[in-house]
Amino acid sequence: MPDQSPHKLVATAKAVLLSPVGRAVLALGLVLLVGVAFNADGAFFKTGTHRDALRQMSVYGMLACGMTLVITTGGIDLAVGSVLALVAVCSATMAIHWEWSAWLVVPLSVLIGAACGLGSGVVTAWLRVQPFIATLAMMVFARGLAKQLAGGMKVSTAVPQADGTYQYVDVPSLYRAIDARLLGGHVSTVTLVFLACAAVAYLVLSRHRLGREFYAIGGNAEAARLSGVPVVRSTVWAYVLSGALAGVAGLCQASQEQQGDPEAGAGYELTAIAMVVIGGTSLMGGRGGMGLTLLGVLTIGYLDKILSINAVPSATRLMLTGVIIVAAVLTQKRGRY
Amino acid sequence: MHRTITALCLILSFALPGCSGSSSSSGSQSDSAATGGAEPKWTIAMSQCNLGEPWRAQMNADLKRAAAEHPEIRLVFNNAENDTLKQRSQIEEFVSAGVDLIMVCPKEAQPLTEPIAKAYRSGIPVVVIDRQVLGDDFTTFIGADNVAIGREAGRWIASHAKPDARIVELKGLMTSVPAQDRHAGFREGLGDVGEVIFEADMQWLEPQARKEMDSALARFDEIDVVFAHNDPGAHGAYLAAKAAGRAEGMLFVGIDALSHEGIAYVNQGLLDATFEYPTGGTVAIETALKILAGEEVPKNIELGTSTHAQAKYEDE
C-alpha cells in the first residue's frame, strides 16, 4: 500500500465499516468469533462442522435468494415455506412412487414452484392485493394442497399398496445425488445448488434489466411506472422467480429427508426474511443486494450451528437468536433512515 | 373493488388453515359399517381433535377397520381441526342427535371436561381416548402410558448396548407432556447402563433431528446409541450418521411404530427397534360394544406397548 497517513487509513476503515457490506461482514465476524470462543471441545474447528453448517443453511438460503428479489420490489413472500412443502410432496410422488426420471422431476418441481409464485404475483401486482395478504393466502393454500396430495402422511419409500400393506422401494438416484458430497467429500451438493441459486439471483438483480426494474419499483412504484417500467409484469416476475427458487429448495429438502413431508418448511419463510434483513436489505424495498443476503445467510446459519454443537437448550436458543437479530439489524439501521 | 378482494383474501386465508385434515373439509364423514342389508343398531359418534398428525389418521383407520367387522354399529367421524370450541360443539351436537355412544380424543383437558361430563350425565356413555379429561364424569379412558413406553425403550437399549455405551438422546418438544414422559421413562429404564453424552430438543421434527445429530457427530468421535422420542427423529439421525459414514454399528431406536414410518424403517434395516405407541382403535371398538351390551368396563384401560426390532435380535 503506498504511504497513507494513519488518519487516512482510519477514515478508510471507518467508511468500510459503515457501508452495508462492512456491517454485514462485521456481524458475521462476531458470530464466528462466538464460535471460536465456544468451540464445543474443538468441534467448531473440524472441516465437517463447516460442511454440515453450509449444507443446513442451504435450503434456507435458496428461499432467501428468492425473498431478496421480492423484497427489493418492496414486497414480501410468505408462501415460500409452504411452496417448499408442496414441491417436496410432488417431487417425492413423482420420483419415489411413480419412478419418473430426474429429467422430468427436476424441471417439473421448479415449474410447480414457479406456478405458485405466478399465483402470488398475479394477485399482488395485477389484482393489487397487498403482498402480505396475497402471499399469506398462497401460504395456506399451498400447505393445504400439499396435505391433500400427500393424503395426510409423508410420501416415503414405503409405498402403500391397495391391500393395505407396504412395498419398499429404493431411494431414487436423483435424491441420492442431491444429498451426496462432491469435491472429495468436502462440499455437499445442496450447498452448490444454493450457490447456483445465489448466482442466478445475483445475475437477475445486478446484471439484468429486470433487476434494475425491481429496484425502481421498490424505490417508488409510481415513478417507475411513469418512466416506462412495466410494473405489473416485473413484479409478477419477482414472485415467479421466488416461487421457482422455493421449488428448488423443496426438491433439496425432499432429497435430504428421502421423503416428501407435507409439514416441511413451516416457519422457514421467517428465517429466510431474517436472513435477508440481517444482511442489510431494506424491507421497504429499493435497496440491498444478493451479496448482503449471502452474508445474512452465513450469519444466521452459523449462529444456528454454534448453538447446536454446544447443545444449548432450545429456550435459550430462541432468546439468543431474537436478541442477535435485533442487534444485527440495529447496527444495519443506524444512520440510514 | 380493491378492498373487496382484500377482504375476500383475508377471509380465505383464515378459513383455510381450518381444513388441515386429510379427509373431507366438512370435517364430518359417515362410515356405515352395515353389510348384507343389516340395519345398524347403534350409532357411535367420534370426535378426533385433529387429523394433521399421521398417528391420529392411523387411529381413525384402526377404528374404521375394527368397526367394519361389526355390522350392528355405525361409526361417524368428526374432525375438530385442532379447535377446542369446535370439538365442544361437536360433542353437544352428538348429545342433541341422540347418538348411542360418544368417542372423543380431547384436544385439551380443562375446556372439554364440562361438555364431556354433560354428555355423560345425560346418559350417553363416553369413551375418552389418548388424552385425559379432569374428574371422572366419563365411562372409560383408553390410553397408552408414555413413561412405560420410554422405560421399555430404555430397557431394550440397556440390554443390547455395551455397558459403557455413549448415547445420544434426541428429545421431542420438551414442553409437551409425551416428550417429558418418554424422557423420564427412558432414563429410568436405562438405569446405570451407558452415558447420555448429548441431548437436544428436536421438536418431533426430522430435519431438526438430522441437524442435531450432525452436531453430535461433529463433537463426539464415538457414539454407540441414538435414541429419539419418535421414529422420524431416529430416521433423521440415521441419515446424518450414514452421511458421515458412521451409521455402521450404531444402534438407532425410535418410538411410535406407525406402519409407514417406524415399522417401515425397521423393515428396511434403517432403525434397530421401535416401540409402538398404540392408537387403541381396536380396543376402543371392543370396549364400546361391551358398554352398549350393558357390560361393566374398567374406568381406566391402559394400552401396552410392543417392540418391533430387526429380525437379528429375535433369537436373543
Cell of A169: 422401494
- For residue B38, the model assigns a pLDDT of 63
Judge whether residue B37 has pLDDT over 80: no
What tens digit of pLDDT does each residue of A70-106 get?
999 999 999 999 999 999 999 999 999 999 999 999 9
Q: What are phi and psi for residue B164, nearest 5 degrees?
A: -105, 35
Judge whether residue A19 has pLDDT over 60: yes
User: In angstroms, rounded to a whole number, what is the distance separating the alpha carbons of residues A244 and B50?
Assistant: 32
Tell me whether residue A222 is exposed, middle or buried, using C-beta atoms within 10 angstroms of its C-beta: 0 to 12, 13 to 18, 19 or more: exposed
Judge whether residue B107 has pLDDT over 90: no
Q: How confident is residue A141, by pLDDT bands cut at 50, 70 and 90?
A: very high
What tens digit of pLDDT does each residue of B192-201 get?
999 999 999 9
- Do residues B240 and B180 make contact, with C-beta atoms less than 8 angstroms apart? no
Going by C-alpha positions, the residue among B281, B280, B298 that lies closest to residue B75 is B281
A2 inside domain: no
Q: What are phi and psi for residue B201, nearest 5 degrees?
A: -90, 110
Q: Which domains does chain B have, with CATH numbers?
A: 42-143+279-303 (3.40.50.2300), 146-277 (3.40.50.2300)
Cβ pair A257:B207 closer than 8 A:
yes
B:33-72 residues touching chain A, CB 8 A cutoff: 51-52, 54, 57
Averaged pLDDT of chain A: 90
A24 inside domain: no
- Judge whether A81 is closer than 8 Å to chain B, CB to CB: no
User: In angstroms, rounded to a whole number, what is the distance separating the alpha carbons of residues B45 and B103?
Assistant: 6
Closest chain B residue to A134, measured at CA: B9
A:303-332 residues touching chain B, CB 8 A cutoff: 304-305, 308-309, 311, 313-314
Cβ pair A158:B199 closer than 8 A:
no
Least confident of A125-134, A158-167, A172-181, A230-239: A158-167
Judge whether residue B48 has pLDDT over 60: yes
- Do residues A332 and A280 make contact, with C-beta atoms less than 8 angstroms apart? yes
Judge whether residue B93 has pLDDT over 50: yes
| Mean pLDDT confidence for B166-191 | 93
Cβ pair A43:B261 closer than 8 A:
no
Cell of B136: 371422572
- Judge whether B260 is closer than 8 Å to chain A, CB to CB: yes
A325 inside domain: yes
- Judge whether A179 is closer than 8 Å to chain B, CB to CB: yes
A128, A148, A311 member nearest B2 (Cβ): A128
| Mean pLDDT confidence for A225-233 | 94
Of A151 and A334, more confident = A151
Q: How confident is residue B6, by pLDDT bands cut at 50, 70 and 90?
A: low
A12 inside domain: no
B54, B199, B218 member nearest A152 (Cβ): B54
Judge whether residue B31 has pLDDT over 80: no
| Mean pLDDT confidence for A120-145 | 95
Tell me the Ramachandran region of residue A170: left when phi exceeds 0, alpha when psi lies from -120 to 50, beta otherwise.
beta
What tens digit of pLDDT does each residue of A23-52 get?
888 888 888 998 998 888 888 998 888 999
| Mean pLDDT confidence for B113-136 | 92
Tell me the Ramachandran region of residue B191: left when phi exceeds 0, alpha when psi lies from -120 to 50, beta otherwise.
left
Judge whether residue B21 has pLDDT over 50: no
Chain A hits for B203, Cβ within 8 Å? 314
Q: Are strands B126-129 and B140-144 parallel, antiparallel or unpaired?
A: parallel
Chain A hits for B267, Cβ within 8 Å? 166, 168
- Judge whether B128 is closer than 8 Å to chain A, CB to CB: no
Give the helix/strand (H/E) hosting A168. strand A166-168
Cell of B232: 422420524
- Do residues A166 and A159 make contact, with C-beta atoms less than 8 angstroms apart? yes
A188 inside domain: yes
A113 inside domain: yes
| Mean pLDDT confidence for A165-194 | 90
Q: Write out the DSSP string of A100-137.
A: --HHHHHHHHHHHHHHHHHHHHIIIIIS---HHHHHHH
A28 inside domain: no
Q: How confident is residue B237, by pLDDT bands cut at 50, 70 and 90?
A: very high
Of B191 and A22, more confident = B191
Chain A hits for B17, Cβ within 8 Å? 140, 143
Judge whether residue B33 has pLDDT over 50: no
User: In angstroms, rounded to a whole number, what is the distance separating the alpha carbons of residues B235 and B230?
Assistant: 9
Judge whether residue A162 has pLDDT over 70: yes
Q: Which domain holds residue A281?
A: 44-335
Cell of B67: 368397526
Mutate to test the interface with B, among A128, A140, A178, A181 (most CBs of B within 10 A): A140
Closest chain A residue to B57, measured at CA: A152
- Do residues B251 and B160 make contact, with C-beta atoms less than 8 angstroms apart? yes
| Mean pLDDT confidence for B82-110 | 90
| Mean pLDDT confidence for B233-240 | 96
- Judge whether A335 is closer than 8 Å to chain B, CB to CB: no
- For residue B16, the model assigns a pLDDT of 43
B16, B22, B57 member nearest A140 (Cβ): B16
Chain A hits for B18, Cβ within 8 Å? none
Domains contained in chain A, number = 1
Tell me how far CA of residue B128 lies from CA of B87, B141, B277, in angstroms: 13, 5, 17
- For residue A334, the model assigns a pLDDT of 56
- For residue A98, the model assigns a pLDDT of 93
**Chain position carrying cell 435497496:** A287
- Judge whether B212 is closer than 8 Å to chain A, CB to CB: yes
- For residue B5, the model assigns a pLDDT of 52
| Mean pLDDT confidence for A180-193 | 90
Mutate to test the interface with B, among A133, A165, A168, A253 (most CBs of B within 10 A): A133
Q: Which amino acid is at A207?
A: R
- For residue B273, the model assigns a pLDDT of 96
Judge whether residue B24 has pLDDT over 90: no
User: In angstroms, rounded to a whole number, what is the distance separating the alpha carbons of residues B168 and B170?
Assistant: 6
- Judge whether B261 is closer than 8 Å to chain A, CB to CB: yes
Q: How confident is residue B32, by pLDDT bands cut at 50, 70 and 90?
A: very low
Averaged pLDDT of chain B: 86
Provide the percentage of residues in chain A whose pLDDT is more than 90: 62
DSSP structural state of residue A93: I
Judge whether residue B14 has pLDDT over 50: no
- Do residues A86 and A299 make contact, with C-beta atoms less than 8 angstroms apart? no
SS3 A73: coil
User: In angstroms, rounded to a whole number, what is the distance separating the alpha carbons of residues A258 and A174?
Assistant: 10
- For residue B211, the model assigns a pLDDT of 94
A9 inside domain: no
- For residue A4, the model assigns a pLDDT of 60
Mutate to test the interface with B, among A47, A124, A309, A312 (most CBs of B within 10 A): A309
What tens digit of pLDDT does each residue of B261-292 get?
899 999 999 999 999 999 999 999 999 999 99
Strand intervals (E) in chain B: 28-32, 42-48, 73-79, 101-105, 126-129, 140-144, 166-171, 195-201, 225-228, 251-256, 273-276, 300-303, 307-309
Which of B99-103, B108-112, B203-207 has the highest average model confidence (pLDDT)? B99-103
B:232-251 residues touching chain A, CB 8 A cutoff: 232, 236, 239, 243-244
Chain B hits for A134, Cβ within 8 Å? 9
What tens digit of pLDDT does each residue of A259-314 get?
999 989 999 999 999 999 988 888 888 888 999 999 999 999 999 999 988 888 88
Q: Write out the DSSP string of B168-230.
A: EEEE--TTSHHHHHHHHHHHHHHTTSSEEEEEEE-TT-HHHHHHHHHHHHHH-S---EEEESS
Instruction: Give residues with Cβ within 8 angstroms of B301, minimum separation 6.
Output: B140, B141, B142, B143, B280, B283, B287
User: In angstroms, rounded to a whole number, what is the distance separating the alpha carbons of residues A305 and A235?
Assistant: 35
A:16-75 residues touching chain B, CB 8 A cutoff: 40-41, 43, 46, 48-49, 52, 56
User: Which CATH number characterizes residue A189's domain?
Assistant: 1.10.3470
DSSP lists the bridge partners of residue B178 as none
